[in-house]
Chains A and B, each alone.
Chain A
Amino acid sequence: MAGQEHSGGIAEHLQYWSYSFDDSNPFMQIHLDTMLLTTLIAVGLISFSLWLRGKLVEGAPTGIQNFMESVIEFINQTVKDNFSVNNPLIAPLAMTIFVFILLCNSLDILPAYLMHHVAGLFGLHTFRQVPTNDLNLPAAMAVSVFLLVLYYEFKLKPGHFLKELLLQPFAALLLDSKNPIVKLLGVILIPLNLTLKLIEEFAKPLSLSFRLFGNMFAGEVIFLLIASLLLVGSVDDLSSVGGVVSGAMGLLVGLGWSLFHMFIGLLQAFIFMILSVVYLSIAHQPVEH
């Protein structure tokens, strides 16, 4: 019975606070919790930027300026290591990806049921506290990066990209062979080439978004499991030895998982950033003849 309640509780905590424009169309809804939290983070970041801008010093930096310069230096170095050409957009893009994802992931440090209970005070029954647990956010960022990659591919080497899209991996059949039958085979294989290349290209944003979403979603589920299995039951039964032991174990395991999950959040932000830079770097690489 208690297990059924806990399972129901976890499932309930994995529901979004959403608003539907058209109940018959599942696409026509918006996750208000994701939008609220990302907007708050964006506003917080912009406010912080404005505040820091007014406090910048030319001399030796201290405090928060020193920390932010370290972050910028790290991102600049990462971009410099991966890019053979200079593109002023890449470093700010990488910085935004890293900082934004890191801040979103950091919300996971809040106790598992806290935001849900706070939302309950305002009459809301569902509220997700980590925006990166919503596939829409990682997918939006990954698709934005993917569109940028396509833009640079078409802009910098349109012929080469089209050739790769239509002829790889069987380009030799059409281009190198002098046998008309083999050439015809090369033409016939163009749809297959296109399919393979499209799968390869679409795998990039898919893997990018699902990696972040999967890690953060799994982390949240484990938090909820730790809380529901070790803490919720023990809170009701703190008078017994078993309840106290269960509660202590819950706190210990929860703390351990929090620390580990913070590291995972940092790692995922870095992975998302570095892969975006690498994909863009590949798009900028000159054609080898």
Chain B
Amino acid sequence: MEFDWSPEDEAFRRDLVAFLDQTLPQDWEEMSKQGPGGEGQAQFSREFAAGLAERGWLTQHWPVAHGGAGASSWRHAILGEELWSRGEPRGPQYMNVNWIGPTIMEFGSQAQKREHLTRISAGDVFWCQGFSEPEAGSDLVALRSMARREDDVYVVNGTKIWTSYANHADFCFLLVRTDPDSKRHRGISVLLMPMDLPGVEIREIPAVVGERYFHEVFLDEVRVPVSCRLGPENEGWSVVTYALQYERVGAPRYARGARTLDRLAEHARERGLLEDPTILEKLGEARALCEAARVLSYRVIDQRAHGAPPSADSNVARVAGTLADRSVGELALEIFGADGLESGSFADSNFRMAMTAGVAVGATEIQLNLIAGRFLGLPRE
């Protein structure tokens, strides 16, 4: 048991922070308010992620053969913490390195690995996630999007919804049903679908957070080459569960929460609120929740670093992160009072972010069910 960063890790964090101070544009604070999918942020991410790639930092935890440096998962965690706490200058590309790349590494063909891992590790490709459908939200396996095989193509029809970054994406990590007679977990396949194929139509759904955060993606007779399928036909569900375990702890929101709390404490001091014991207690409680989320995420990273298979610990970490986000968002509004109501203000944007926390990457209720089942062996409802 050890709980400390090595001198090399600390040096890396220092170098990274210096790089961020130097690289982020003057108006970064404003630009990053719109979230990773914002137009300015997404465009900047092409330059930024390429800069990380040049320094060998973007995918340093990947094997050398796939464009990495064979560094430990902890290095990647440092990268995530520092970038997420600054509002994620990788833009939508954080998804690529967090879970799309690792899943392609596990299940992809040689050609797929060559094509996609190379582009991801170079930092110039955008992906989106085609999972949810209007009738398949928490119950993801109710998905109906259908892929009909015709020789060497799948002809895809269906609708995906709540798709972040679809407007920017070059590819979609798409879930479809390839066996029309199948039910639930069976008969699902994953397609790595180019978004520029004829028949792909994107419509924005205005959201309370960020700019162009949600989209509907309509698929009308889209002809996707069979060579785009990731993993065996009809056995996509195991690919998805693998991907989800990575996704859940991908974004260290606790790091952003902790940084926000530092700023809130400063504001509270300026407003003379630190004399109020209820504010002090809430600052302490919120900080403790961020720390809990941090160490629970570390447990998942530790398991990865030891090569252990993904477990329900990622669900635990995710729920802890949601609790932290929520308490930080609430406290921001409490400390700023009526000033926090100003649209686009620091408190307002944190509150809006917190509203999404319990829904994104699987509703909290689903995470708790998974924890109850896998950790505690409780029977299903």
Partners in one complex: no
